[in-house]
């Protein structure tokens, strides 16, 4: 292996093709849904993620991160399992959130907001679409790739080295990932605040004015979800 970490000539077309596909998948996931959410909707249109939105975005970021681990350290079973589990968690989060705030018949949303619309559907709906596409594109990568078993075997045995050689698409994916994460950190600080503050269920609009920042600790009080009214409602006002 050369000192400049270039892909060696001993690599076959299978390795080049497979790891480039994973780098492209990581780049697409972090640049499109996550990048659009923070750059266009956040900084551009002032949309603030709620606490559930942040968790859904975390799943996308974590999936991209594990895809980049494959690009840097090889195609290992633990990375693949992590991507599948995170995709399932993202689908669960998306369906749960959409059932509460969805555009079409959601429990809370009757047209007043709770997320900007893209092509007529709120962002909660697109969370489901994105994580479904993760499964779809993962299947496409595994279908189009050749000698996948051999690549995983070599990766597990360290035959590619401790760190895979760098290549252009992988470098671009890592750079974009770091950039988008930096922007997310800025947005998270503005809209949610530093620990121990947590994101709000009904966040205020994102603003560069610190006087309009709203940080809260309400979600530390409990995580139970109950749609019933209080057992001890306030008595109505009765005239004397």
Phi, psi of 231 (to 5 degrees): -70, -20
On whether residue 93 sits in a domain, the answer given is yes
First to last CA, the chain: 90
| pLDDT score, position 6 | 55
The token pair at 168 is 């252009």
5-14, 60-69, 104-113, 202-211: least confidently modelled range:
104-113
Number of domains forming the structure of the chain: 1
d(CA 128, CA 147): 31
Expressed as residue numbers, the domain containing 180 is: 13-221
CB 13 within 8 A of CB 21: no
- Could you tell me if residue 7 is inside a domain? no
Domain membership of residue 89 (yes or no) is yes
Alpha-carbon distance 189 to 186, whole Å?
5
- Domain-embedded: residue 194: yes
| DSSP notation for 74-139 | ---HHHHHHHHHHHHHHHHHHHHHHHHH-TTT-SS-SSS-SS-EETTEEHHHHHHHHHHHHHHHHH
- pLDDT range class, residue 1, cuts 50, 70, 90: very low
How confident is the model at residue 181, as a pLDDT?
96
Q: Are 59 and 86 in contact (CB under 8 A)?
A: yes
Tell me if 1 is assigned to some domain. no
Residue 171 within a domain: yes
What is the spatial distance between Cα 132 and Cα 234, in angstroms, rounded to a whole number? 45
Say what the pLDDT of residue 229 is: 54
* Poorest-pLDDT segment among 61-70, 99-108, 187-196: 99-108
pLDDT for the residue 4: 43
Mean pLDDT of 58-63: 95
Looking at mean pLDDT, say which of 23-27, 92-96, 122-126, 200-204 comes out highest: 23-27
Look at 65 and 240; give whichever has higher pLDDT.
65
Residue entry with tokens 């991209």: 64
Q: In the numeric block, which tokens belong to residue 77?
A: 């079973």
Q: Are 14 and 145 in contact (CB under 8 A)?
A: yes
Q: Where are the alpha helices (DSSP H) in the chain?
A: 13-29, 35, 51-73, 77-101, 123-144, 148-156, 168-191
From residue 188, give the alpha-carbon distance in Å to each of 11, 54, 83, 95, 203.
Answer: 41, 9, 24, 23, 12
Tokens representing 181 are 């994460």
Does position 11 have pLDDT exceeding 70, yes or no? no
pLDDT average, residue stretch 128-140:
93
For residue 134, give both structure tokens: 């993760």
What is the CB-side half-sphere exposure of residue 214 using CA atoms within 13 A?
A: 14
% of residues, the chain, pLDDT over 90? 45
Whether 231 maps to a domain, the answer reads: no
pLDDT at 79: 97
Residue 43 lies in a domain: yes
- Percent pLDDT > 70 in the chain is 78
> Which single residue is written with the structure tokens 């045995």?
157
Confidence (pLDDT) at 117: 67
pLDDT value for 235: 67
71 pLDDT exceeds 60?
yes
**pTM of the entire structure?**
0.81
Average pLDDT taken over every residue of the chain:
83
Calculate the dihedral angle through the C-alpha atoms of 182, 67, 75, 155, rounding to the nearest 10 degrees: 0
Judge whether residue 12 has pLDDT over 60: yes
- What DSSP character marks residue 150? H
pLDDT average, residue stretch 108-125: 63
> Is the N-terminal amide bond of 196 cis, ω within 30° of 0?
yes
* Chain segment 142-193, per-residue pLDDT in tens: 998 888 999 999 999 988 888 888 889 999 999 999 999 999 999 999 988 8
Tens-digit pLDDT profile for residues 17-44: 899 999 999 999 999 999 998 999 889 9
- Report whether 159 contacts 132 (CB < 8 A): no
């Amino acid at each position: 292996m050369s000192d400049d970490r270039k892909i060696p000539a001993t690599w076959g077309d299978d390795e080049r093709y497979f790891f480039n596909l994973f780098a492209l998948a990581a780049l697409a996931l972090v640049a499109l849904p996550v990048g659009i959410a923070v750059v266009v909707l956040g900084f551009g249109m002032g949309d603030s993620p709620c606490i559930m939105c942040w968790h859904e975005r975390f799943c996308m970021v974590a999936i991209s991160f594990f895809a980049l681990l494959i690009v840097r350290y090889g195609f290992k079973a633990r990375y693949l399992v992590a991507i599948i589990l995170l995709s399932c968690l993202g689908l669960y989060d998306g369906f749960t959130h959409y059932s509460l705030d969805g555009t079409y018949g959601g429990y809370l949303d009757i047209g007043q907001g709770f997320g900007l619309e893209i092509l007529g559907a709120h962002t909660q709906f697109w969370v489901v679409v994105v994580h479904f596409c993760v499964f779809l594109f993962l299947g496409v990568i595994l279908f189009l790739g050749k000698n996948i078993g051999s690549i995983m075997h070599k990766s597990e045995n360290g035959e590619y080295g401790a760190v895979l050689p760098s290549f252009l698409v992988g470098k671009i994916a890592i750079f974009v990932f770091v950039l988008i994460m930096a922007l997310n950190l800025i947005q998270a600080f503005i809209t949610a605040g530093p620990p121990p503050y947590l994101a709000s269920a009904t966040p205020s609009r994102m603003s560069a004015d610190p006087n309009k920042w709203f940080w809260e600790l309400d979600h530390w009080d409990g995580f139970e979800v109950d749609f019933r009214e209080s057992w001890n409602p306030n008595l109505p006002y009765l005239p004397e």
